[in-house]
């Protein structure tokens, strides 16, 4: 089999399997071989179950030969972020407390992927309890960016994005509470979608010992892939109510409203004095807007009437409560605050959401940065709050890396990250395409149109992979 097939889109691979041009077993063997040859320096895939996967792939091939009805992901070998419970396969959340944890049941999201025909063969690396923008932990060590091994792949779904970029899996599913799908997509040059909050069940999310039985605030599960078409396909499989509500509830996401860029009115929010961007990254974003305008999109320098810092303060307070279960009890109580305070914050969030919804009445989409910079060098000293970074020689807080993603996440809006170019050093960079609540397919369709219209946009295989 040609090695490059491993970097095809999931949609292309699924079609090839249906047409019997490629077998599921051969594709699985190809991914296992690529991981064995190429993943050592990257360290993206940390646990594998080749034997059970081979049996499942063989069964998928037999079903194909018989002409049995098959799902949209039939025979596609995949890996899953290690924060998501996967039946019979070690799932640790990156924490030593769960180093030997082997779930009995799949998270609903994993069950839906399997039900659509996917073959799970491995787990990908992440930071402890999904709590960083880098992907390293005491169990599995450090994951490196396949575009530059000295740099981070992002976090917390860093192993997932690196595996997709390097052609180690058909696609991935990650989690995102502060940017954990979008930031790795931006850093690794793949596409990632943060769904509208509540659209995909989060059960089975390992953010603490005993976690996974409820849906944390702000957090979502979302796909990482090599095309917008893949994201749409995967969202169609993942979206739906929690299992206990499925007896009565259904999800019917509206189709995208625009077929071309000429039908879109797009707001742009790239410049915020309190969160400066790397000059080179800002230049790429500027070029993207120019090319979209030339392609016929109506670009307006406008954004929702919200104060950037106030909305980030709201995000900071709410995410502190959401992630508090992963901290020691004394720290957790201080982080979470009282329920009375949380109710006040939630009411303020409702007011902010209303402002965004009103703005979207006259705009189809918003474009904004993902982080202030491209992928940065590994920085494991200190912690999330104490670390610093340089942006064009200016000392800034490491925490600013989640400013633009937190801005969108706290109001629960869908956001698709699409690669839009590379820096002079060859590092990929992306842009967030934000749509109104539950208009996920608008964001995904626009990301696909951007990939087609902008020179150098869309997924490209890292050199050497």
Residue 393 maps to which CATH number? 3.90.1300.10
Which of 399, 391, 398, 436 shows the shortest CA–CA distance to 414? 436
| Same domain flag for 209 and 305 | no
Q: Is residue 194 part of a domain?
A: yes
Q: What percent of the chain has pLDDT over 70?
A: 100
Residue where a domain terminates, one of 238, 271, 296 = 238
| Same domain flag for 182 and 328 | no
429 has a pLDDT exceeding 90: yes
Q: What pLDDT is recorded for position 194?
A: 98
| Reported confidence tier of residue 3, pLDDT bands at 50, 70, 90 | confident
Which of 234, 169, 246 shows the shortest CA–CA distance to 203? 246
Q: Is residue 251 part of a domain?
A: no
| Same domain flag for 7 and 139 | yes
332 has a pLDDT exceeding 80: yes
Q: Is residue 458 part of a domain?
A: no
Mean pLDDT of 110-128: 98
Cα torsion 379, 384, 385, 390 to 10°: value is: 40
| Same domain flag for 310 and 228 | no
**Residue count of the chain:** 465
Q: What pLDDT is recorded for position 234?
A: 98
| Same domain flag for 106 and 211 | yes
| Same domain flag for 234 and 274 | no
| Same domain flag for 182 and 224 | yes
Task: Report the alpha-carbon distance of residue 154 to residue 144 in Å, rounded.
Answer: 9
372 has a pLDDT exceeding 80: yes
Question: Could you say which DSSP state residue 146 is in?
Answer: T
DSSP string computed for 353-403: HHHHHHHTTS-SEEEE-SSSSS--B---SS-TTT-EEEETTEEEEGGGGGH
Q: Is 375 exposed, middle or buried (0-12, 13-18, 19+ CB in 10 A)?
A: buried
| Same domain flag for 342 and 206 | no
Distances (CA, A) of 30 to 3, 38, 49, 223: 7, 12, 15, 22
Q: Is residue 127 part of a domain?
A: yes
Q: Is residue 246 part of a domain?
A: no
Domain containing residue 166: 3-238
Task: Report the alpha-carbon distance of residue 390 to residue 111 in Å, rounded.
Answer: 42
Supply the mean pLDDT for the chain. 97
Contact (Cβ atoms closer than 8 angstroms) between residue 44 and residue 167: no
Q: Is residue 256 part of a domain?
A: no
| Same domain flag for 147 and 290 | no
DSSP string computed for 79-121: EEETTB-BTTB---TT-GGGTT---SS--HHHHHHHHTT-EEE
Q: Is residue 460 part of a domain?
A: no
Give the other-Cβ count within 10 Å of 149's Cβ: 14
3-state secondary structure of 451: helix
Q: What pLDDT is recorded for position 195?
A: 98
| Same domain flag for 211 and 326 | no
Residue where a domain terminates, one of 238, 269, 284 = 238
| Reported confidence tier of residue 303, pLDDT bands at 50, 70, 90 | very high
Contact (Cβ atoms closer than 8 angstroms) between residue 129 and residue 324: no
60-97 pLDDT per residue, tens? 999 999 999 999 999 999 999 999 999 999 999 999 99
Count of structural domains within the chain:
2
Contact (Cβ atoms closer than 8 angstroms) between residue 222 and residue 195: yes
Model confidence, pTM:
0.98
Please confirm whether the linkage preceding 269 is cis (ω < 30° from 0). no
Q: Is residue 250 part of a domain?
A: no
Residue where a domain terminates, one of 238, 253, 288 = 238
| Same domain flag for 282 and 158 | no
Q: What pLDDT is recorded for position 330?
A: 83
- Residue positions annotated with a catalytic role: 81, 156, 180
| Same domain flag for 39 and 186 | yes
């Amino acid at each position: 089999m040609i090695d490059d097939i491993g970097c095809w889109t999931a949609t292309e691979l699924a079609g090839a399997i249906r047409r019997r041009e490629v077998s599921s077993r051969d594709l699985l063997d190809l991914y296992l071989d690529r991981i064995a040859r190429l993943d050592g320096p990257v360290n993206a895939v940390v646990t594998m179950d080749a034997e059970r996967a081979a049996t499942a792939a063989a069964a998928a091939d037999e079903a194909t030969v018989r002409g049995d009805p098959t799902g949209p992901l039939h025979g596609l070998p995949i890996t899953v972020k290690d924060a998501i419970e996967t039946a019979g396969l070690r799932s640790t959340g990156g924490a030593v407390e769960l180093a030997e944890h082997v779930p009995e049941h799949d998270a609903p999201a994993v069950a839906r992927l399997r039900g659509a025909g996917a073959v799970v063969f491995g787990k990908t690396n992440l930071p402890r309890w999904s709590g960083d923008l880098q992907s390293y932990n005491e169990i599995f060590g450090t994951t490196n960016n396949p575009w530059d091994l000295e740099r981070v792949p992002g976090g917390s779904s860093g192993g997932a994005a690196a595996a997709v970029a390097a052609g180690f899996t058909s696609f991935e599913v990650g989690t995102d509470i502060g940017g954990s799908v979008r930031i790795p997509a931006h850093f690794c040059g793949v596409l990632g979608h943060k769904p509208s909050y509540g659209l995909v069940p989060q059960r089975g999310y390992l953010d603490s010992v005993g976690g996974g039985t409820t849906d944390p605030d702000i957090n979502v599960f979302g796909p990482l892939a090599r095309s917008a078409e893949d994201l749409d396909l995967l969202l169609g499989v993942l979206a739906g109510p929690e299992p206990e509500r499925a007896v009565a509830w259904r999800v019917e996401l509206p189709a995208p409203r625009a077929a071309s860029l000429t039908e879109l009115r797009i707001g742009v929010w790239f410049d915020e004095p309190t969160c400066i961007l790397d000059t080179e990254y800002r230049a790429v974003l500027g070029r993207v807007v120019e090319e979209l305008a030339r392609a016929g999109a109506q670009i307006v320098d406008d954004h929702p009437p919200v104060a950037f810092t106030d909305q980030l303060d709201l995000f900071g307070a709410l995410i502190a409560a959401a992630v508090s279960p992963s901290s020691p009890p004394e720290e957790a109580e201080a982080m979470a605050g009282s329920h009375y305070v949380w109710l006040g914050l939630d009411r303020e969030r409702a007011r902010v959401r209303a402002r965004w919804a009103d703005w979207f009445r006259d705009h189809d989409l918003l474009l904004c940065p993902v982080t202030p910079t491209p992928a940065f060098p590994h920085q494991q000293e200190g912690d999330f709050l104490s670390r610093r970074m340089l942006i064009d020689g200016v000392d800034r807080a490491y925490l600013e890396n989640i400013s633009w993603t937190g801005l969108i996440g706290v109001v629960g809006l869908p956001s698709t990250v699409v690669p839009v170019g590379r820096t002079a050093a060859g590092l990929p960079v992306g842009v967030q395409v934000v749509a109104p609540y539950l208009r996920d397919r608008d964001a995904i369709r626009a990301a696909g149109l951007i990939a087609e219209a902008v020179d150098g946009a869309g997924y490209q295989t890292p050199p050497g992979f």
